[in-house]
Amino acid sequence: MSSDGETRKERGFPLFVSTLALLVAFTALLAVAFKLNSKGDAATPTAAAPKAATAAPAETEKVSLVIKTDEEHGKLGPEGTWHDAYLPADFTVHPGATVEVTVRNYDEASHTFTSAGLGTNQMIAGGSATKPATTTFTFTAPTKKGSYGWHCVMPCDPWAMTHSGFMKGSVQVA
């Protein structure tokens, strides 16, 4: 490596030019940034839009239930007999949530999902063992946490209608 004066002088000029170029580039960048910034200020109303979007979305919780009959071995009772049942009969939702319930009924008879506490009295259409009928309904979960009972008011399986976990159950708001 040579370190004489001539080499240093030769090196000095390109260094000066590149420094100048860098300075010009930096100034240009600053100018663009400033321009963008002032543009952003002008567009303040549009910049507020995403804020409104994040506050808006309502929380929707989806619940899927199936109804099967005693003949389809819906649910075995503790006394050893099969019964009509909502599967599952109990589920949990969050306070204040919009709950979308989808029920696939494999029973030819119709049932209901009735609950004064949840504000629901939904008829569930009859289907068949091979082609279930699908009913979708929505309710708003109470804001107060707790256990909310529901039951089926259609005369179906008398034992199931009086036993929790079959044609009645509870929704936990937690």
- Count of chain residues binding Cu ion (CB under 5 A): 5
In the complex with Cu ion, the residue whose CB is nearer, 93 or 152, is 152
Other C-beta atoms closer than 10 Å to the C-beta of 164 total 14
In the complex with Cu ion, the residue whose CB is nearer, 167 or 173, is 167
Least distance between Cu ion and beta carbon 154 (Å): 5
Q: How far apart are CA 89 and CA 75, in angstroms?
A: 11
Q: Residues 84-113 vs Cu ion: string with x where CB under 5 A?
A: ---------------------------x--
Residue 75 binding Cu ion, by CB under 5 A = no
Residue 65 binding Cu ion, by CB under 5 A = no
Least distance between Cu ion and beta carbon 146 (Å): 24
Q: Which residues are at the interface with Cu ion (CB under 5 A)?
A: 111, 152, 154, 156, 167
